[in-house]
């Protein structure tokens, strides 16, 4: 539908599709049969970073961040 000032894109379902859905009560309780979902515009990049972080290569690298360097 639109993007607000906080960077969230708003998606709304089509009420013509949802009005006859047998599982509508699991998605929304709105009287106008519309489900609204907000997703931040950077969420795709955040998901990509999370996927990379859990690969074996980056898990080893992430563990090294905890190591401390002794200074003399």
Give the domain range for residue 33. 2-64
Whether residue 34 lies inside any domain: the answer is yes
Whether residue 69 lies inside any domain: the answer is no
pLDDT bracket for residue 70 (50, 70, 90): low
Strand partners, 24: none
Whether residue 47 lies inside any domain: the answer is yes
Whether residue 36 lies inside any domain: the answer is yes
H helical segments located in the chain? 15-18, 24-27, 43-53, 56-64
What pLDDT does residue 68 have? 67
Whether residue 71 lies inside any domain: the answer is no
15-43 confidence digits (pLDDT tens): 898 888 888 888 888 888 889 899 999 99
User: In total, how many domains does the chain have?
Assistant: 1
Rounded to two decimals, what is the model's pTM? 0.57
Whether residue 70 lies inside any domain: the answer is no
Q: What angle do CA 17, 21, 25 make, to 5 degrees?
A: 120
């Amino acid at each position: 539908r639109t993007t607000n000032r906080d960077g969230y894109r708003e998606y709304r379902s089509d009420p013509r599709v949802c009005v006859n859905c047998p599982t509508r009560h699991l998605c929304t309780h709105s009287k106008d049969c519309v489900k609204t979902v907000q997703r931040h515009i950077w969420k795709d990049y955040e998901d990509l970073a999370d996927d990379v972080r859990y690969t074996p290569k980056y898990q080893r690298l992430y563990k090294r961040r905890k190591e401390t360097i002794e200074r003399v």
